[in-house]
Amino acid sequence: MARGWRMGAGLSLLLFFTVAAAQPWRQSDYIAQAFLTIALGREYQQASDYLVKWQQPVRVFIRHQVKYVVLHDTLVAAQLSHLASITGLTIHQVASIDEANVVITFTEQAQWQSLVADELGADSAAHLHGSVCLANIVEHGGHIEFARVYIPVDLARFHGKLVACVVEELTQILGLPNDSDRVFPSIFNDKSPEVLLTGLDYLLLKLLYQPVLIAGSQYQALQAPLATILWQWQQDGTIASASQTVRQGTLYRLLGYSP
């Protein structure tokens, strides 16, 4: 019996390493580098920066400037529920824009450039060419204080990216602001076909809100805690089960994906 158990364990270990080799994102070094790329990079800046995250409850107001209100509310509520379950953040919707520290605007292409220019400035509006949606974070010392998301619904639907915009932009305003073609499979890769959060995205979000990763931390200060966390997650199965775990999200169920 004992001998048979050892053979089974050996086979399982071999299978794990085979899967890890076939899927680099399951390797600790890959996850750590992906995290540093997405969390410290800035989409429209060359230099890496510091870690940003929420330190307070997230209060969301949805501003509707187009129809299909129920659909948009449903998509946002599903994604917010998933994000709260992964990060441990308190995230809830509020009835007034004055109560909010996150404003999500569903608008139309004809209005969004002037809207972004009015609320974020001409520099932000200049980055809209070629974009389908936009997120913006206001932070101080690594502590996110306010965020905005703009989704021009007609443009997003034309490109088949309405759901992708909701998922990516709401995720990025939690403190993962960069995109990179080197991170795969991920919603943070503009060349990836992913629409919903992947197992890797789940791990990046979960990492970001580990208490030991301090807001404002820079590259060197993150190395040791990342290595410790990821070693533990390799041991306890968090990494191995990430893809299955993320598929429990509300949007996965809403869109008919099997667990």
Digit-by-digit pLDDT tens for the chain (259 residues) are 332 333 344 444 444 444 444 589 999 999 999 999 999 987 655 445 899 999 999 999 999 999 999 999 999 999 999 999 999 999 999 999 999 999 999 999 999 999 999 999 998 888 888 899 999 999 999 999 999 999 999 999 999 999 999 999 999 999 999 999 999 999 999 888 899 999 999 999 999 999 999 999 999 999 999 999 999 999 999 999 999 999 999 999 998 887 6
Specify the 3-state DSSP secondary structure of 38.
helix
How far apart CA 84 and CA 90 sit, in angstroms, is: 6
69 burial via Cβ count (<10 Å: 0-12, 13-18, 19+): exposed
How far apart CA 137 and CA 151 sit, in angstroms, is: 15
pTM: 0.89
Q: Are 40 and 49 in contact (CB under 8 A)?
A: yes
Q: Angle formed by the axes of helices 69-87 and 199-208, to 10°? A: 60
